[in-house]
Amino acid sequence: MPIEPHPAESPLCGMPLEELETLFYPQPRFRAAQIFKWIARGILDFDQMTDIPGALREELKSRYTLCSGKIESQHRAKDTVKLALVFPDGARIESVLLYGGKKRRTACLSTQAGCPAGCVFCKTGSLGFSRNLSSAEIVEQFLFLRRAAGGDVDNIVVMGMGEPLLNLDELRKALAIITDSRGMNFSRRRITVSTCGISEGIIDLGEKGPAVRLALSLNTADEPLRQKLMPITSAQPLQKVKEALAFFQEKGGGRVTLEVVLLGGVNTRSEDAVSIAKFAQGLDTVVNLIPWNPAPGLEFENRPLAEPGTREIEKFARQLESQGLKVTRRLKKGRGIMGACGQLGALPEQQGEKNLKHAD
């Protein structure tokens, strides 16, 4: 019996197994399971699904798409791959694969085209907001990055373009697909979601899951300064954010990473260290220091942003540690291809790089 038509804007890679079973009825349920497993393996061509009868493959090809994004460009450095994807409506996003120690591979996924947060130190924030991504558009980023890795991916960080908790329903659906034991079977414990501090979203994540790791883009606990640096936080006061984090941890969420992008001469004062320690009191946290990655055209209070100096970073780290905080540091990766934290949306040539294959 024929399969019901399916809207072109809903690629199959963004559908849970149960949704595929309903969609393909009255085909046997095992057909949906076969296709779900093929997608999990990274097969995005019906012709390669060899256990599906030829006539059915032809019908599937005429009715459905497996994914909608196309790789517009790919830039490689020795420790980073950056993919630019474009979707049928013209929306463009970027995703990054990072190589770590012991050949560890981390996929950095985007959840929105552009970003509504407007953080002054982030290139993506300067682009404005276009739209949320669908679950399929999130899943296929992972599939494309895994293919670029030439093997398994060890970790997922949802730290690319956009504010994940403003697109939580689609992100939740995408992560359900990625972690489904009947398909990709990726461990939730190896997934970290980063947020600017959307307190309602943090509470929702704590209540309904999934049980992933959480990172807060804090940057400073000086409320007025934070609101200047991150305009979206004017509606998210720190006390409300802290209460949401406490709720998240009460519900079983683990240690929260407090991300601090260090801006030279802006948020590296001793009072910043003290205020961060005060914010962290009563929470299980670790502070991750991220020296600002230069991106063209970004400034604060009419002055170009600057990288912090080595001594400035060391001094601030010691000040945090003297307050009893555990401190880690983000390694600089992907700068040469504009694939580092805060650089997505900028072109590698804007950094003056000529050799993209060996930019680092």
Q: Model confidence over 30-47: pLDDT tens digits?
A: 999 999 999 999 999 999
More confident residue, 298 or 339: 298
Asked if CATH classification 1.10.260.40 holds for the domain at 12-63, the reply, yes or no, is no
Write down the pLDDT at residue 100.
83
Question: What's 70-358's CATH class?
Answer: alpha beta
Q: Return d(Cα 187, Cα 183) in angstroms, integer.
A: 12
Active-site position among 115, 137, 341, 353 = 341
Q: Return d(Cα 208, Cα 175) in angstroms, integer.
A: 13
Q: Which residue has the tokens 């414990």?
A: 189
Query: What are the E-state strand segments in 133-222?
Result: 155-158, 191-195, 213-217
pLDDT at 188 over 60: yes
Active-site position among 13, 21, 67, 94 = 94
- 321 is a catalytic site residue: no
Q: What is the pLDDT of residues 193-242, one digit of tens each?
A: 999 999 999 999 999 999 999 999 999 999 999 999 999 999 999 999 99
Per the document, the length of the chain is 360
Cis peptide upstream of residue 28 (ω within 30 degrees of 0):
no
Same fold, 12-63 and 70-358: no
Instruction: Provide, rounded to the nearest whole percent, the portion of the chain with pLDDT above 70.
Output: 92
Write down the pLDDT at residue 9.
52
HSE-up of 342 (CA within 13 Å, CB side)? 27
pLDDT at 4 over 90: no
pLDDT band at 296 (very low <50, low <70, confident <90, very high): confident
Write down the pLDDT at residue 348.
65
Q: Which residue has the tokens 């006061």?
A: 237
Q: Return d(Cα 125, Cα 232) in angstroms, integer.
A: 10
Q: Residue ranges of the domains in the chain?
A: 12-63, 70-358
Write down the pLDDT at residue 350.
53
Encoding tokens for residue 136? 């399929």
Q: Return d(Cα 14, Cα 130) in angstroms, integer.
A: 20
pLDDT at 349 over 90: no
pLDDT at 2 over 60: no
- 349 is a catalytic site residue: no
Q: Is 12 helix (H, G, I), strand (E, B) or coil?
A: helix
Average pLDDT of the residues of the chain = 91
Taking 3-state DSSP, the helix, strand and coil percentages for the chain, each rounded to the nearest 5, stand at: 40, 20, 40
Q: 78 — phi, psi (to 5°)?
A: -65, -25
pLDDT band at 255 (very low <50, low <70, confident <90, very high): very high
CB 247 within 8 A of CB 192: no
Q: Return d(Cα 202, Cα 123) in angstroms, integer.
A: 24
Rounded mean pLDDT, 307-319: 96
Q: What is the pLDDT of residues 116-167, one digit of tens each?
A: 999 999 999 889 999 999 999 999 999 999 999 988 999 999 999 999 999 9
